[in-house]
Each structure stands twice: as C-alpha cells, then as structure tokens.
Chain A
Amino acid sequence: MNGRLETATVPAGMTLLEFLRGRLCLVGTKEGCGIGECGACTVLLDGKPVTACLVLAVEADGGAVDTIEGEARDGELSALQKAFIEAGAIQCGFCTPGMIMSARGLLRRIPNPTDDEIVEAMAGNLCRCTGYEAILEAVRVAAQAKAVPHAGQMVAGQSAGGSGSQGGRLSSPRVPGEGGGRG
C-alpha cells in the first residue's frame, strides 16, 4: 500500500475502496458512482489504473496499490500534483485524486503521451466542474516535466509552464486500431 506492507483480515464482500477509506483511513480516494462509471475512485493496482469500487479488497491480496496519498514525498507534492495546480486543473477537487491516479498510470506506461493517448487515458474520469481542458493541459505539463514515475525531486524548481508548446506531438504513428476516435 503506497510502498508499505499492510496486513488485514477483511470480509469477502468489502470493496478495495471501502478498505482504503474505512480501514486504512486513506480518504483521498473518493466514492462517486460506486459502479465504475465516474473514475473518482481510480487507484493503481499493480501499476494499472482500476476503479477501486469494482475491485474486492481480497482481490488486492499480494498486490501493490498506489493511491493519491502516495503522490507527495517528504512533504513535497509530486510533479503531477504541481502540474494540476499550475494548470488550474482543480475546481471542487472531488475528481482530482482519481484524475491524478489515471494520469500517473498513463505516464508510467507512456512517458511522453500524445494528446489522443492522454484523452483515452483520462476519459474514464468525469469532472462535473467541466475542467477537462485544464486537466488535459496538466497532464501535458507533467509529461513535459518528466514526471515519471515519481519525479518530485527530479523536477524540483523546474518550471512546469510549458503550456502551448506541445503542438508537434499530436500525430505520432501508432499501431492501427487505436481507439483514438473515442473520447
């Protein structure tokens, strides 16, 4: 759990989300819809973004779980968190932990994502304050700041203000069949 070993006995019917919030008091992960539609409860399970409301706690046994609480290190926000602030990608903040964990999963998998890849990776996270453009920009900024995988120290002091300079990355060739037309 965020790099620490946690041992617990849980009922089979407890979701990973309930375990995180109720047992470990890691309440950064939010419950929105509870049925995998909104993405607010996105965490990384073995490095991959999943909705914690649709995973049983027992299914995570022996696995590695990363939540928003693991982003900041030694009191310093991660480059991804800083990028969300710089880009103004936060309004009410409810969707933000899930957004950041989806972005974290993307940047671990693809350090320099195209815009289509960012959209596809973030499309499972809903924001009711309609801040999508700023959120996508935050992910671009974080990618440019080389926020991978935990780059708090790597980018310390580096300006994350690279907005507007990503125009050349929109059409890198990809394997055919990429679901880029969906959004």
Chain B
Amino acid sequence: MLGRFDYERPTNLAEAVRLFAETPSAAILAGGTDLLVELRSGRHAPRLLVDVKRVDGLRRLDVGPRGDLTIGAAVSLNELLEHAATRWSFPGLAQAAASIATYQLRNRATVTGNLCNASPAADLAPALLVLGAAVGVAGPRGARVIPVAEFFAGVKRTTLRRGEIATEVRIPAPEPELRSAFLKQQRLRGHDLAVANVAGALAPSTGTLRLAFGSCAPTPILLAPIETKGMSAVAVGAAAAAATLAAASPISDVRASAEYRRAVLPVLVRRVVAELLGGGAT
C-alpha cells in the first residue's frame, strides 16, 4: 500500500481544477513514475490524488498548421517518441525523451510530468528550453501560459500557483531547417539520471544558437542566444562552453562531484555545438 488517500478521476478540466484547488493536500497523478515512488517512501503524503489521464483534451498531441506542437498532459514519453512529426521536426526532444528511464516507464511517464516534477536533472527541460516551449496552465483563476524558461523556481519547485494544473506543453513552430540535439552524461551506459545534460537548437538562416543544460544548477538553465554567423564551430564551442560554465553552479551528490560536473559540462556543450554546426567534435 502506498498510503491512505482518496482518488478521483475527473473527465473534464473544470472538475479537475476544482478538486485540486479545493483539497488542501492534493497531488496531480499523470504517469505516476515519480509520484508513486514518493508515496511509497513517505516523502509525500497527499490526501487526494487527482488522476488527469482521462480529462478531455489532455491526450491531445497535435501539430498546428505552421508546425507548432501541442502535447497534452496525459501524453506519455513513448507516445511522443512514436509521433513521427516530433522525431522529424524536433530530433533533440526525441533524443532527450528516448534517454529517459526504461521502455516500461516511458509508457507511463508523461512529457508534462517531467517538467512538473521540476528535477534539476529533468532531461526534457533543456530540450524544451531551446525550442522556446511553454506550459499551458489551468487554475481557479483561469488559464495562462508559462514559458518553460520561467517554469522552474528551484529544486522540485515550479512557478505553478496553488490550485493550478499544467495541461499541456506547447512548442512554437520551428524556424526553417531548425536543427536540434541533446546529449546526456550518465554514470553508466543504460538507464540513469543525468550527471549533466545539454540541449542545443540552431536556426541556420539566422545563425542563432540556443543552448540549455541541466543537472548542474538548482534548475535547468537556458543560456542567452549565441550568434554563430561567421564563426567556426570550434570558436562557437569555446564561447558556448565558457558561457555554460559561468551559468553553472553544480553540487556534489550521489551521481557525481561538482568538480566532475564542471569538467564534463563543457565537453557536452562542445559536442552539441559540433553536431549542430558541423566540423570536428572534441
């Protein structure tokens, strides 16, 4: 038994918001791959679970007319990975999703839940940050949209207000020929949380490079855009690595020391830059 709590499975969003907002200690259940572990350990003991998987509209996985993508809060990582348009338009996002946990867990774990869990190591966070994604939110005071860049408030904390439910992740239409990539350093070649992760997106027409990284600060971090026109891949890689290290504040934990993270982070950044810009990898 994972504790004593009530369970509700609303089918419309207004009801889900009401249940979640009215109950002093309620938790949203989507995939449950993080929540159920916390319930089992006793770290989290809510009185009510609001299962949002059957709420109308939250299973949507829609490509808009200009290529923008909306991923409902009940969409699993494997459903995202099986979505051809995602793999074609956003390969960095697909790489990040494929790197998470195991096939069984990816059948449960959701895209939105990976953000809402607000782990500093969340692999989808850097991949979504470089795409300019945002989180659609419904709450007692109505709906709003939070850019992923403003979604994380700290370790395991988001900027969702009391009673608000994340309903979807929105990725804007990609710039023409947008390239994206994701790399992750793990303790072992297999299923593990990131020691460090790095995502990049390059718009070839403008030469603007966006980079984000995780597991090396209290939250995933998006760097200021880097202009690459007229620069070699090596020069861009060096500049990006320096900017990344300046923004990083890694700690030592069970997965790696701060020193190791500082050593490996610039390597991942240079490799992502090399993959996006071409030229030799380091």
By a beta-carbon cutoff of 8 Å, the part of chain A in contact with chain B is 11-15, 18, 34-36, 39, 42, 45, 48-51, 53-56, 58-59, 61, 102, 105, 120-121, 123-124, 175-179, 182-183
Residues in B neighbouring A13, C-beta threshold 8 A: 1-5, 39
Smallest CB-CB A-B distances: 5 pairs: A124-B102, A179-B98, A12-B7, A177-B94, A13-B2
Q: List 6 A-B contacts (CB under 8 A).
A: A12-B5, A39-B102, A61-B9, A175-B88, A177-B91, A182-B98
Interchain CB contact under 8 A, A177 and B5 = no
Residues in B neighbouring A11, C-beta threshold 8 A: 1, 4
Interchain CB contact under 8 A, A34 and B102 = no
- Nearest-Cβ distance from residue B18 to partner chain A, whole angstroms: 19
Pick the contact of A54 from B36, B87, B91, B189 — CB < 8 Å? Answer: B36
Residues in A neighbouring B49, C-beta threshold 8 A: 12, 56
- Nearest-Cβ distance from residue B87 to partner chain A, whole angstroms: 5
Give the segment of B55-63, B104-112, B164-172, B272-280 that binds chain A: B104-112
Interchain CB contact under 8 A, B32 and A59 = yes
Closest residue on chain A to residue B38 by CB atoms: A35
B187 within 8 A of A: no
Q: For the complex, what is the distance from the CA of A160 to the CA of B76, rounded to whole Å?
A: 35
Interchain CB contact under 8 A, B107 and A48 = yes
By a beta-carbon cutoff of 8 Å, the part of chain B in contact with chain A is 1-7, 9, 29, 32-33, 36-37, 39-40, 49, 51, 53, 78, 84, 87-88, 91, 94-95, 98-99, 101-105, 107-108, 189-191
Residues in A neighbouring B94, C-beta threshold 8 A: 177
Interchain CB contact under 8 A, B2 and A35 = no
Q: For the complex, what is the distance from the CA of A39 to the CA of B191, rounded to whole Å?
A: 12
Pick the contact of A123 from B3, B6, B102 — CB < 8 Å? Answer: B102
Interchain CB contact under 8 A, A124 and B191 = yes
Interchain CB contact under 8 A, A49 and B107 = yes
Interchain CB contact under 8 A, B105 and A124 = yes
Q: For the complex, what is the distance from the CA of A59 to the CA of B8, rounded to whole Å?
A: 10
Residues in B neighbouring A45, C-beta threshold 8 A: 107
Closest residue on chain A to residue B49 by CB atoms: A12
Pick the contact of A124 from B7, B39, B40, B103 — CB < 8 Å? Answer: B103
Instruction: Kindly name the residue among A15, A42, A54, A178 whose own CB sees the greatest number of chain B CB atoms within 10 A.
Output: A54
Known: A12-B49, A176-B87, A177-B94. A39 touches B104 (CB 8 A): yes
Q: For the complex, what is the distance from the CA of A13 to the CA of B108, rounded to whole Å?
A: 18
Interchain CB contact under 8 A, A55 and B2 = no
Known: A50-B107, A182-B190. A36 touches B37 (CB 8 A): yes
Residues in A neighbouring B190, C-beta threshold 8 A: 123, 182-183
Q: For the complex, what is the distance from the CA of A110 to the CA of B190, rounded to whole Å?
A: 22
Q: For the complex, what is the distance from the CA of A128 to the CA of B271, rounded to whole Å?
A: 35
Residues in B neighbouring A39, C-beta threshold 8 A: 102, 104
Pick the contact of A51 from B5, B84, B104 — CB < 8 Å? Answer: B104
Q: For the complex, what is the distance from the CA of A45 to the CA of B107, rounded to whole Å?
A: 10
Residues in B neighbouring A59, C-beta threshold 8 A: 29, 32, 51, 53
Interchain CB contact under 8 A, B36 and A49 = no
Q: For the complex, what is the distance from the CA of A177 to the CA of B102, rounded to whole Å?
A: 16
Interchain CB contact under 8 A, B39 and A121 = no
Closest residue on chain B to residue A58 by CB atoms: B7
Known: A177-B87, A178-B98. A35 touches B40 (CB 8 A): yes
Residues in A neighbouring B6, C-beta threshold 8 A: 12
Residues in B neighbouring A51, C-beta threshold 8 A: 104-105, 108
- Nearest-Cβ distance from residue B102 to partner chain A, whole angstroms: 3
Interchain CB contact under 8 A, A124 and B104 = yes
Known: A124-B191, A178-B98. A56 touches B40 (CB 8 A): no
